[in-house]
Amino acid sequence: MTTEHVALVTGGMGGIGEAIARALHDNGCTVLVTHSPHNDHVDAWLESQATQGYRFGAYGVDVADFSSCQRLAEQVAQDDHTVDILVNNAGITRDGRFLKMEREDWESVMHTNLDSMFNVTKQFCAGMVERGWGRIVNIGSINGTKGQFGQCNYAAAKAGIHGFTESLALELARHGVTVNTVSPGYIDTHMLAAVPRDVLESKVIPQIPVGRLGHPEEIAAFVALICSDAAAFMTGSDVAINGGQHMY
């Protein structure tokens, strides 16, 4: 399966985003990745990817900030790229019981995980509609459908993502643009560093029927599939990839 599309993956320099960027590159896409403005490993990361045969365009952006996303779109256009595939992957956690949760923890998670859907998608979806082809994949979470102790902010944002997906899918379906959510379960990335290892081993992994954490590549392979021409009839879906932990 090869395509010549241009894909943009937010938060593409690590974890699930990096695996998605590589899978899309493997499928023949030109891949642009974004990193947050304070990321100081960009050159080393690009160099390390290049030595493995992966060449990416890289752009700094704060997905929580609309103006920053407008500047991203301007830079991408200046570089003569027209984005056909958008993977809204960037996200953060700021966990804590609601009784103790600070407003800042609520707002930063909402801005980064949910407002980013508007901020980034707004820049690129009109072009997809004009060209009559596009793929938008929004990365949700198992906790957006089942809830999670200590994650009122994150679960609310991730649940909101799928409402966005369904509505945008309806609006864009007749224009050749599909919009889907992929909702991972527990995947072994930097994000899980917030969960103590003993809690992962004693509480989380025993709840996963396959008996282990997922690998970023196990999310990426599916994202790459639904970004292909073969997936033209799939839109508005929320696909759970969670080792059987939560079935719906």
* Footprint on this chain of ligand NDP (rule: CB under 6 A): 10-11, 13-17, 34-36, 39, 61-64, 89-92, 112, 139, 141, 184, 186-187, 189-192
**Least Cβ distance, residue 93 to ligand NDP (angstroms):** 7
Q: Considering the complex, state which of residue 28 and residue 110 has its C-beta at the smaller distance from ligand NDP.
A: 110
118/69 Cα distance (integer angstroms): 10
Report the residue number whose CB is nearest to ligand NDP: 15
Q: Considering the complex, state which of residue 92 and residue 177 has its C-beta at the smaller distance from ligand NDP.
A: 92
Residue 16 in tokens: 């699930």
45/7 Cα distance (integer angstroms): 18
| Catalytic residue (one of 59, 154, 186, 248) | 154
**Least Cβ distance, residue 9 to ligand NDP (angstroms):** 9
Q: Considering the complex, state which of residue 187 and residue 224 has its C-beta at the smaller distance from ligand NDP.
A: 187
**Least Cβ distance, residue 201 to ligand NDP (angstroms):** 15
145/151 Cα distance (integer angstroms): 12
CB-based contacts of 106: which residues, under 8 Å, 6+ apart?
94, 152, 153
**Least Cβ distance, residue 47 to ligand NDP (angstroms):** 16
* Of residues 73, 44, 80, the one with CA closest to residue 59: 73
Taking each helix axis as running N to C, give the angle between helix 15-26 and helix 216-226, from 0 to 180 degrees, rounded to the nearest 10. 50
Residue 248 a catalytic site member: no
- Residues marked as catalytic: 154
